Amino acid sequence: MPATACDRLTPRELRRLREIVRRLSGIDLPPHKEPLVRARLRKRLRELGLSDFGGYLRLLSGSGAGAERQLLIEALATRLTGFYREPDHFRFLSEEAVAEWCARGGPTRLRLWSAGCATGEEAYSLALALHTALPRPQRWDLRILATDLSTRALVAGRRGVYAAEQLAGLPDSLRGSYFRPLAGDPPAAWRVAPELRRLVSFARLNLIEPWPMRGPFEAIFCRNVMIYFDPPTQRGLVQRFGALLRPGGLLFLGHSESLTGGLSGFRFVRPSVYRRS
């Protein structure tokens, strides 16, 4: 089948798209991502009846294109997620962090933030890990803030319904206790139980824009998000996270991320886990 204009993205068009995406979201798309950009946007061009990327760029530059710009970011910012992804973090949280919080005595207020929560699996994993690890969890004032740039992802997170295969990594005991089966035998989908859903609040947030929350947080999870930003943006985010963490609070990054060269205000705990000084 011959290539169409929708299959071609010129260097100039890619450069303009990269500039728009960086300005709107902070995401830095390197040139070698051109096949991904083209593949993810091709369907949208066809939905709009556009024959080439030049027409799409003109649309993005027009007045009243805010909704389309949001769709652009959502198409390019999607990332892998899952329940208990990178499980070492949840073991550390359930064992060492919970033991520390219990030992300090005093207020039982706990605030955590899942920054870049996608469709909610990470935030609900935090709720599940803490609900099972905290002694008498109903006596703790536990709240988890889950934010993302994608409105579609947030809708899915608030709904709290996941296909059976998305829960495949969870032990049967946890799935049976903290999820409710929907139609089917075996169930094709499960809904997060109310006792977990009420612990999580979802909100749209662009990490490069001002943040309305004040903290302090005991822990911030921002995993596999900063890899999409350039180094200056990464350093700025780390400083802002530090300002919202209580002294001794924990910052969790993805296993492929680190604060090498940017540890100001943080101490290394273990790979991809840091403590505010």
Residues acting as catalytic residues: 40, 148
Structure tokens at 8: 């071609």
Residue written as tokens 């803030």?
145
